[in-house]
């Protein structure tokens, strides 16, 4: 497999899923602190002890040990997010919280100590709760100003430590998980499509603004968007199914189109027209979108789905968004269908559509792991299933590179076990490193290298030759 020499191998996490310390050192409460069941249950009024994210895997206190383990695997890049409410506890505060800023200074310094480049998500499903309660999240135009203040602060502070930035995690997911993704308190069933697309517009404008400000503060900064990719295949070759799949792909690709081309596409104007969707935009916002497009496109990839015009077909589970099941694919224990070739397909499709460098910033298998004796006096997990999953996907990344697609790097999701986003469980493990913590809150928080740890170390050391 011919991976580029400077390929950025690494792993990814998000602050809210690993840091814990939910109310320490001036951090404000964010929406994750009141979502003990992820998107599978109702939010609570206050943080409750059964919420696994309040402690997470205690990365806030143990990051040095964890970064050292990432370095041992040979990581070139580590993707994490900044928890907005560590910097601006309520989101609309006038001044940032110095202790929160200091934490990320220390974390990025620790990464650089080992030659690991941080890749930072500015907003990863962790809107300050106050912005959700007082403003109904991104439905409000005011959020653009609060986000601007936040990004100015972090770009200025970390300009010498962070080269790679992502503006919003899976920006398209706001359509499906409005609270988690957009801090919107109104339940999805009660939200109008106009409000939802207004929230999208505000996020897209904020993303363009971040790209502008980031480049002004540091002309060398590489700023990307991040989308939840979910290649959608027609369930059958029937032309009606092909068109249904095309339309589903368009609705998903709209977000990348806006970030790369900077204009509302014709298919979207038609969709707005035919669905009675009206949104407010200003000439200044439209000019900003057009002018400040991204340097690269990053995306998560877990599943492909099928689409059909046959409305009697039901949808299965998926990465936040489910789809009609593909009869040719196996699925994970959580019902997510596994399709390594879909990754090659989506890399080709995105590059053909946008001609921008691509970065796979999430891919991985959530599975139940068993900690066993390693025969040398320690403990490990024999996760051959995870190795097979990642190996198969990376082989397809290699194929896409052979196809001529410029791929900047690959960060596996949850390089260390963490709390799941959709179900808020720790039982759904993604890591190369096992964390001794369980959904009943028990566990020592000790870290153990899984078999996949050694496998990934070899992949990185050989720059993909061992695949």
Taking CB under 6 A as the rule, does residue 181 contact ligand BG6? no
Smaller CB separation from ligand BG6, 289 or 305? 305
Owner of token pair 């030759």: 465
Largest Cα–Cα distance in the chain? 67
For ligand BG6, the closer CB: 136 or 169 = 169
User: Does residue number 362 form part of the binding site for ligand BG6 (CB under 6 A)?
Assistant: yes
- Cα 234 to chain centroid, rounded: 26
Active site residue 110: no
Instruction: Spot the catalytic one: 117, 170, 362, 399.
Output: 362
CB 254 within 8 A of CB 268: yes
Cα 339 to the center of its chain, rounded Å: 19
Among the residue ranges 97-105, 281-289, 418-426, 445-453, the one whose residues contact ligand BG6 (CB under 6 A): 418-426
300 binds ligand BG6 (CB under 6 A): yes
CB atoms near residue 1 (< 10 Å): 16
Residue of 14, 111, 200, 394 that binds ligand BG6 (CB under 6 A): 14
Give yes or no for residue 319 binding ligand BG6 (CB under 6 A): yes
Based on the shown chain and the rule CB under 6 A, indicate whether residue 170 belongs to the binding site for ligand BG6: yes
Q: Is 51 in the site for ligand BG6 (CB under 6 A)?
A: no
The string over 419-449, giving b where at least 16 C-beta atoms fall within 10 Å of a residue's C-beta and e elsewhere, is bbbbbbbbbbbbbbbbbbbeeeeeeeeebbb
79 versus 292: smaller Cβ distance to ligand BG6: 79
Please tell me whether residue 229 binds ligand BG6 under the rule CB under 6 A: no
How many whole angstroms separate alpha carbon 279 and alpha carbon 285?
A: 12
Phi-psi region of 65 (alpha: psi -120 to 50; beta: other; left: phi over 0): alpha
Nearer to ligand BG6, 235 or 305 (CB): 305
Question: Among the candidate windows 45-53, 214-222, 323-331, 419-427, which touches ligand BG6 by CB under 6 A?
Answer: 419-427
- Residue 321 CB, shortest distance to ligand BG6, in Å, is 9
Q: Of all residues in this chain, which one has the CB nearest to ligand BG6 in the complex?
A: 422
Sketch the per residue contact string, 91 through 130, with ligand BG6: x for CB under 6 A, - otherwise.
----------------------------------x-----
Question: Cα 384–385–389 angle (5° rounding)?
Answer: 115
Q: For residues 145 and 335, which CB has a smaller minimum distance to ligand BG6 in the complex?
A: 335
Taking CA atoms, 317 is separated from 71, 187, 253, 302, 306, in Å, by 34, 20, 20, 11, 12
Binding-residue total with ligand BG6 (CB under 6 A): 16
Examine residue 411 and tell whether it contacts ligand BG6 (CB under 6 A). Answer: no
169 binding ligand BG6? (CB under 6 A): yes
Q: CB nearer to ligand BG6: give 366 or 431.
A: 366
Residues between 124 and 153 that touch ligand BG6 (CB under 6 A): 125
Applying CB under 6 A, the span of 52-60, 213-221, 290-298, 413-421 interacting with ligand BG6 comes to: 413-421
Select the span of 102-110, 261-269, 386-394, 420-428 touching ligand BG6 (CB under 6 A). Answer: 420-428
Q: Decide if residue 396 touches ligand BG6 (CB under 6 A).
A: no
Residues that bind ligand BG6 (CB under 6 A): 14, 17, 125, 169-170, 300, 319-320, 362, 366, 413, 420-423, 428
Hey, which residues are catalytic here? 362
């Amino acid at each position: 497999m011919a991976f580029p020499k400077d390929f950025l191998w690494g792993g990814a996490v998000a602050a809210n899923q690993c840091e814990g310390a939910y109310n320490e050192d001036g951090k404000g409460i964010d929406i994750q602190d009141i979502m003990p069941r992820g998107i599978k249950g109702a939010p609570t009024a206050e943080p409750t002890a059964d919420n696994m994210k309040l402690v997470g895997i205690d990365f806030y206190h143990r990051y040095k040990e964890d970064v050292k383990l990432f370095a041992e695997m040979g990581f070139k890049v580590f993707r994490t997010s900044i928890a907005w409410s560590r910097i601006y506890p309520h989101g609309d505060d006038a001044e940032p919280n110095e202790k929160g800023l200091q934490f990320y200074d220390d974390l990025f310094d620790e990464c650089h100590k080992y030659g690991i480049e941080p890749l930072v998500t500015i907003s990863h499903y962790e809107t300050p709760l106050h912005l959700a309660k007082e403003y109904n999240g991104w439905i409000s135009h005011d959020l653009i100003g609060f986000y601007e203040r936040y990004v100015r602060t972090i770009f200025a502070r970390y300009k010498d430590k962070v080269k790679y930035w992502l503006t919003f995690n899976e920006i398209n997911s706001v359509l499906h998980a409005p609270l988690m993704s957009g801090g919107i308190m109104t339940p999805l069933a009660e939200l109008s499509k106009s409000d939802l697309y207004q929230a999208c517009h505000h996020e897209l404008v904020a993303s363009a603004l971040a790209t502008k400000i980031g480049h002004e503060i540091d002309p060398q900064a590489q700023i990307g968007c991040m989308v939840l990719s979910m290649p959608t295949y027609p369930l059958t070759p029937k032309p009606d199914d092909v068109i249904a799949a095309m339309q589903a792909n368009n609705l998903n690709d709209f977000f990348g189109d806006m970030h790369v081309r900077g204009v509302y596409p014709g298919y979207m104007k038609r969709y707005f027209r035919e669905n009675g969707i009206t949104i407010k935009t200003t000439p200044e916002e439209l000019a900003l979108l057009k002018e400040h497009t991204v340097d690269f496109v990053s995306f998560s990839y877990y599943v492909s789905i099928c689409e059909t015009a046959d409305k009697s077909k039901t949808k299965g589970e998926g990465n936040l968004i489910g789809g009609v099941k593909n009869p040719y694919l196996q699925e994970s224990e959580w019902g997510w269908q596994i399709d390594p070739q879909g990754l090659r397909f989506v890399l080709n499709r995105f590059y053909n559509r946008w001609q921008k460098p691509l970065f796979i910033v999430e891919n991985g298998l959530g599975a139940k792991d068993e900690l066993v004796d390693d025969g040398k006096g320690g403990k490990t997990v024999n996760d051959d299933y995870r190795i097979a999953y990642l190996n198969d996907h990376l082989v397809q990344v290699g194929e896409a590179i052979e196809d001529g697609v410029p791929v900047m790097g690959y960060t596996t999701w949850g390089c260390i076990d963490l709390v799941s986003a959709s179900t808020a469980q720790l039982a759904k493990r993604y890591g190369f490193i096992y964390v001794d913590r369980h959904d009943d809150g028990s566990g020592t928080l000790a870290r153990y290298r899984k078999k996949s740890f050694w496998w990934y170390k070899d992949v990185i050391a050989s720059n993909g030759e061992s695949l």
